[in-house]
Homo-oligomer: A and B are copies of this chain.
């Protein structure tokens, strides 16, 4: 089935599958197996294997614990009504993973091997893919630096691991519009930094603002640029879109924004549908103005975990912006239905976005 030479060690103690009628809390349940491959300078990536899901054993001086050299990705596998297993645009995640790797000096992973590894581990634990509406198998590939060494330099050894988690909705609120806090004190990333890479650094930097926002009843933080502190960037776990006067606007990728796969899919869908879409700078002032004059029609976040997350309310300092009637926008709903329909094989995939795991 695969070009990559994978050694298999199957579990002798399979876990019980989650009950279909229990809600699957995102990111808490893991399947029976995981994929692992090692890297060593001079030897390259080697020893690809699928082994029982189990703790990792790492020296306390392993560089990942100290210097943050870690990359991750997130994508999903879906079970179709006729029993096929589909991945959604895995090559976009693999491409982005290697962009992250380059930025943070982790050796690249050959794209075909990466895809083979995903397919092989998903196939192994295929029985774990849930089938209820809104559920899927979340796939988490990641690389960690493992040299037992204190000192700042790229590691000479790494582990590439793929773990799998059956998931329900990322936001328990589901498609109910969320409240977003526009942050004016903390900064997530800046031009020249690692904002466009999917690495722990961007997430640890986001925690303090997220805690502050949660304490005020907001579910997510919207980040501004780190230089002028007035242009909208992203939500940390999502990219952000605004429908203003019939035109869909999203911040242009500038080096400090994560290039989301769902973001890209939304832009392609809008173009196909003839909905005007602009990737450009958008300031908080422009947003506030649009909210005031009634032209802010829809706001939604996009991400692998939630697909589409409608936004009903934004706050910047003392200004509250209500979006339209606070419900789910027509375009938001159409995008959500189309992407999830393609992911589940219910809508014809004219974009060739899905890849079947055979």
Interface size, chain A (Cβ < 8 Å): 67
Q: Determine the chain B residues whose CB is within 8 A of the CB of A27 once the complex forms.
A: 61, 149-151
Q: Determine chain A's interface SS by DSSP, over half rule.
A: loop
In the assembled complex, the Cα of A338 lies from the Cα of B34 at a distance in Å of: 54
Partner of A154, one of B149, B190, B207: B207
Rounded to whole Å, the gap between the CB of A231 and the closest CB of chain B is: 13
CB distance A26 to B138 under 8 Å?
no
CB distance B140 to A150 under 8 Å?
yes
CB distance B144 to A65 under 8 Å?
yes
Which residues of chain A from 170 to 198 have any CB-CB distance to chain B below 8 Å in the complex? 170, 185-194
In the assembled complex, the Cα of A59 lies from the Cα of B237 at a distance in Å of: 22
A-B pairs with the 9 shortest C-beta distances? A68-B200, A27-B150, A187-B192, A201-B201, A68-B204, A67-B203, A190-B190, A55-B57, A105-B207
CB distance A140 to B66 under 8 Å?
yes
Show the binding face of A for B, using Cβ within 8 Å: 26-28, 30, 34, 53, 55-61, 64-70, 72, 74, 103-105, 138, 140, 142, 144, 148-154, 161, 163, 165, 170, 185-194, 199-208, 210-211, 226-227, 229, 236-237
CB distance B105 to A211 under 8 Å?
yes
Q: Determine the chain B residues whose CB is within 8 A of the CB of A142 once the complex forms.
A: 65-66
Give the residue name and chain of the B residue nearest to A229 (CB).
Answer: B192
